[in-house]
Structure 1
Amino acid sequence: MLTSLSIKNYALIEDIQMDLQSGFTIITGETGAGKSIMLGALSLLLGKRADYSAIRDKEKKCVIEGSFNISSYHLQDLFAEEDLDFEAQTIIRREILPSGKSRAFINDTPANLSSLQVLGERLLDIHSQHETLSLGDNDYQFLVIDSLAANASRLKQYQAEMQQLKGLQKQLQQLREEQAQATKEYDYNLFLLTELQQAKLVTGMQEELEERYEELSNVEQLTDQLGSAVNHIQQEEIGAAAALREAKNNLQRISGISGNYQQLFERLQSVNIELDDIALELESALDKVEANPAELEQVNARLQVLYNLQKKHAVATVEELIQIEEELVKKVAVSENAEEEITRSEKAISEKKEALRKIATNLHAARKSVIPKFVKEIESILADLGMPNATLKIELEQQKDFFHNGHDKLNWLLAANKGGSYNDIKKAASGGELSRIMLAVKSILATYSKLPTIIFDEIDTGVSGDIAQKMAGILQKMGKNMQVLAITHLPQIAGKGDRHFKIYKEDAVHSTITNIKELKGEERVEELAMMLGGKNISDSAVAHAKALLN
């Protein structure tokens, strides 16, 4: 439960401190005194985004700090999941710096807003004046029923499966779009692919073909030059081989005279061997040179195919053509294999829908099981709150479609008067009746959820007199099992509180500030008397106030 609340430099609040206890606590104050400011500060502790304009003195930081006794609420696992240090007396702090930057801390450990929101949902429920209207909202109606049915884990599982289903459906849609596009381009892509495959592309083939083309195109020149080269080497008397042999013989005769001559002789001998090898290779190359017009035409044709393909695909190498061929293989395969892929995807979707259907059926069964008891309890509380003839009908119907929370359609229908027809609850109930219904719902939820603290902001809107007295009784009863704070303008409710705080404005030297103080004894009697009869307090108002307190 909330044990203390400190607010500094926030809106009209300069510095206030509230020490709170269990039970039923009342907060009163004139309109505009700052009750909504206090709720706004509390909302920051629950993870609401900070507003820089809320800082009172822009030169100083704004600090809101709440201390919570959570020793008996089994939140250790939640703290572990959020990577936070668990403390039985947990302190949540929000700071808004003059720079506009906002910071959050849980037990002095920096925390993000999502952690505050997760923890806040387990610590505190603020019922605002506008929340009463949410009774007619379908999501809120589901929230109530699912809370009673303990559907949290089922919903989490369902939503995880639903997310996966959406992913599969998106994948199927993409496959179908790709198939449609591939089908349009299939014939053209297949033609391009066949053309490339017929060229039998191999890395390095262009260079080889171009080299062979040059050889076949220059047979006469090759024959003349190779023949001449062989002749110059092997002529009997003046050829290079004969001259080299003579020089070698000359050096052999003097090789014994000096080591230098021996080395020169050996080098000439090596050159002679190399020249003989060259002559043999030249002769072999000359033997192979042969005019072949048919092969020349064939090589030229293959080169023209390559050149045309390169021009067509705007590339310069065979390697780039091979890459394009590989891409076309994939594109053609997409079209050829699309049906198989789509069939697999449709099967996965069907299986996922079946898994969702099972969870949704469990959700439906759990919801259906709690509705009769819930309706009975609501009608019982409404009877105590001056609506003895009001009957609630909750319709729960299974649908074929999957929604974000199952496949149920839910309607809350109310017949406010005896013999009246059922109508949508937000149309069938007046403002005061909606307040009573909401209080009934909250009192039931509080029992099931075991929430530590709930704050009601004018839950008594639209009611007065004896009904207000009965509402006060319900709030007081709720306070036996949890911490209840109620902001109210009704003395009948204020008189039932175990403790009573008053929020008020006062003029400081240069500004107006909001303060809060706990009322005790005669201060509380005086406050109730003013709520009953205005600022001019009469004896009867005082007597009535004392009666309410007793």
Structure 2
Amino acid sequence: MLQNLNIIDLAIVKSLDLNLEKGLSVLTGETGAGKSILLTALGLALGDRADASYVRPDCERAEINLSFDLSDAPAAQAWLEENEFDADGQCLIRRTIRQDGRSKAYINGRPTTLQALKLLSSQLVEIHGQHAHLTLLDNEEQRKFLDDYAQNTDLLAKTNQAYLQWRSNHFELEALIKSSTELSNQEDLYLYQLNELEQLDLIQYDYIALSAEHSRLANLEQILQIGQLQLDLLSENEHQSANQMVGQSISALSDLSSLAGEFEEPNKLLIEAQIQIQEASSQLRHFLEAQEINPQRLQELENQIGIIHSLSRKHHVAHEDLPDIAEKIRLELNNLSNSTERIDELEKLVEQNKQDYFSFAKALNLKRTEAGKKLSVLISAMIQELGMPQGEFSISVIAQDINLPKINGSDKIEFLVSANPGLPLRPLAKVASGGELSRISLAIQVTTSHDKDAPTMIFDEVDSGIGGGIAEIVGQKLRTLGKNAQVLCVTHLPQVAAQAHQHLFVFKTSDAAMTTSQVKTLSTEQRIQETARMLGGVNITDSTLTHAREMLMSGMKK
């Protein structure tokens, strides 16, 4: 339960330290006294969005501190332990807001995010705003009420997980099927391109060697002619060749070496030169003898080189990179093949996702239907106590005939009401007046509050549009709630205030510079005065005070 609310420099509150008790606590005060700022402070501390306008003028920052006893909040205590916020049975929440609009949040002294703060807060406090009855007109809110009451959290999560898996796989499958024609055309193109490239004998592809062979065959006549001429000059000319002339020089110098030893070294060099000439002649002869004019091979080479040049231009790559292009195309073809396999796989997954979803949705429908019947009876009884003696409330749960999964199950959920006997049940938004809607909203909130995990419930003027004896019944219901939980209610009804275990009075004080809201806990006599004010307005008579005392004494006995 919420033990203490501490506010510093927030809006019109300079400093406030408020201790709260178990049971039903009411907040009353004149219009504009600042009751709403207390709930605003609670909302900010529990994770609502903040801005600089909340900071009291001329102050550096605003600060809100909440202190909770976790003895009646096991879910919150487990969350704190799981997220490594030391608990020890206590929870301290702190929120600061600076002049520049930046804010910080702390749980048990440790910095935290607003998302984490909201997760924790949902297990500590439940707030029913003064316009809560308007949310009941929304079908999604009606669905949430029913699922909360039926404790469908886990089953709903499984249903929506199956839906999300189906949606993801379904969209991927649709995209692949939609592009299947394009993929088929692309596959044909890749096959054609790969067939073109494979004409090049890519396994043994060597453009440099092909180019060299082509160049030799294309110029073979010139090669043979010049080569034979050089062979003649080196050794095969019978009259004058390099080999013959070097041989003559060797013979002459050999004779002279016996006369002058200086000729020996030049003679050795000439002998080596003659050996080199003979070796070169031999290799040249061997090469020329091996050459053969082959027009057919030359044509083949010209064709292949032409294809290489054409494909290089087509794929915008160098000649030597064509094998890499072929490998890339093979990979793309493999991916296309995998895409077909993926379609088959997705079709099976989508069908399985649908089966899982409809299985969960069916179980969800059964739980909703059962809970709806039970809740309809309870709320019908409650609205009859709240001034609609012939009123009937019903929750319609209809399993829609759908082929494809949708979020939150397949049910259409609608709150129906008949305010008068003999009239058929019709949707809440089309039947209930403002006052009736407030009473129905309160009946729903009171009825379902027993099943909530949050140990603290806050009602912000949910009794608007109600008066007289019905207001007293509302007060009794809230007091009954306060026996099992902490209930904090902002009210303008004396009948409700008289039922409280604790009465908090909100008032303003002013000086020349600033107006400030304050709160005090009323004693029994002060409660009688405040209840009389709420009953009689400005002029409080003895009879008004007597009436107020009777109301208070009657409420405190229950």
Residue 433 of structure 1: aligned partner: 436
Which amino acid counterpart does residue 22 of structure 1 have in structure 2?
K
- The TM-score, its normalising length taken from structure 1, stands at 0.89
Q: What percentage of aligned pairs have identical amino acids?
A: 33
Unpaired stretches in structure 1, ≥5 consecutive residues? none
- Count residues with an aligned counterpart: 540
Contact 1:26-1:501 at 8 Å conserved across structures? yes
Contact 1:104-1:112 at 8 Å conserved across structures? yes
Residue 526 of structure 2: aligned partner: 523
Contact 1:179-1:335 at 8 Å conserved across structures? no
| Matching of residue 473 in structure 1 with residue 471 in structure 2 | no
Residue 310 of structure 1: aligned partner: 312
Q: CA deviation at 1:414?
A: 0.3
Contact 1:202-1:318 at 8 Å conserved across structures? no
Contact 2:132-2:462 at 8 Å conserved across structures? no
Q: Give SS of 2:500's match.
A: coil
Q: Give SS of 1:122's match.
A: coil
| Matching of residue 84 in structure 1 with residue 88 in structure 2 | no
Which amino acid counterpart does residue 5 of structure 2 have in structure 1?
L
Q: Give SS of 1:163's match.
A: helix
Q: Equivalents in 1 of 2:231, 2:78: separation in Å?
A: 95
Residue 133 of structure 1: aligned partner: 134
- The TM-score, its normalising length taken from structure 2, stands at 0.87
Partner residue of 2:427 out of 424, 428, 432: 424
Q: CA deviation at 1:457?
A: 0.4
Residue 498 of structure 1: aligned partner: 501
Which amino acid counterpart does residue 176 of structure 1 have in structure 2?
I
Q: CA deviation at 1:204?
A: 5.3
Q: Report matched runs for 1:109-508 at 5 Å.
A: 109-183=110-184, 185=186, 187-201=188-202, 205-227=206-228, 238-239=242-243, 281-319=283-321, 321-329=322-330, 340-401=341-402, 402-508=405-511
Q: Give SS of 2:106's match.
A: strand
Q: CA deviation at 1:498?
A: 0.7
Residue 106 of structure 1: aligned partner: 107
Contact 2:44-2:95 at 8 Å conserved across structures? yes
Contact 2:309-2:319 at 8 Å conserved across structures? no
- The Cα offsets for residues 62-93 of structure 1, whole Å up to 9 and x where unpaired, read as 21111111134223442344443334110111
Cα distance, 1:539–1:277 mapped onto 2, change above 3 Å: farther
Which amino acid counterpart does residue 366 of structure 1 have in structure 2?
K
Which amino acid counterpart does residue 40 of structure 1 have in structure 2?
T
Q: Equivalents in 1 of 2:204, 2:107: separation in Å?
A: 65
Q: Give SS of 1:451's match.
A: coil
Residue 24 of structure 2: aligned partner: 24
- The Cα offsets for residues 397-419 of structure 1, whole Å up to 9 and x where unpaired, read as 11233331111111211011111
- Return 279-288 or 142-151, whichever deviates more: 279-288
Cα distance, 1:19–1:211 mapped onto 2, change above 3 Å: same
Cα distance, 1:416–1:203 mapped onto 2, change above 3 Å: farther
Cα distance, 1:364–1:218 mapped onto 2, change above 3 Å: same
Cα distance, 1:275–1:109 mapped onto 2, change above 3 Å: farther
Which amino acid counterpart does residue 106 of structure 2 have in structure 1?
F
Cα distance, 1:316–1:519 mapped onto 2, change above 3 Å: same
Q: Equivalents in 2 of 1:81, 1:199: separation in Å?
A: 66
- Return 172-181 or 196-205, whichever deviates more: 196-205
Q: Equivalents in 2 of 1:492, 1:16: separation in Å?
A: 27
Q: Equivalents in 1 of 2:510, 2:233: separation in Å?
A: 122
Q: Give SS of 1:489's match.
A: coil
Q: Equivalents in 2 of 1:186, 1:276: separation in Å?
A: 62
Q: Equivalents in 2 of 1:412, 1:362: separation in Å?
A: 21
Q: Give SS of 1:395's match.
A: strand
Alignment RMSD:
3.3
Q: CA deviation at 1:284?
A: 3.6
- The Cα offsets for residues 364-413 of structure 1, whole Å up to 9 and x where unpaired, read as 11112222221111122222212221111222111233331111111211
Contact 2:461-2:491 at 8 Å conserved across structures? yes
Q: CA deviation at 1:4?
A: 0.7
Which amino acid counterpart does residue 430 of structure 2 have in structure 1?
K
Q: CA deviation at 1:484?
A: 0.1
Which amino acid counterpart does residue 313 of structure 2 have in structure 1?
K
Q: Equivalents in 2 of 1:240, 1:510: separation in Å?
A: 129
Q: Equivalents in 2 of 1:136, 1:535: separation in Å?
A: 38
Contact 1:306-1:318 at 8 Å conserved across structures? no
Cα distance, 1:323–1:62 mapped onto 2, change above 3 Å: farther
- The Cα offsets for residues 525-547 of structure 1, whole Å up to 9 and x where unpaired, read as 22111111112222122111111
Q: Equivalents in 1 of 2:269, 2:179: separation in Å?
A: 73
Q: CA deviation at 1:339?
A: 5.3
Q: Give SS of 1:449's match.
A: coil
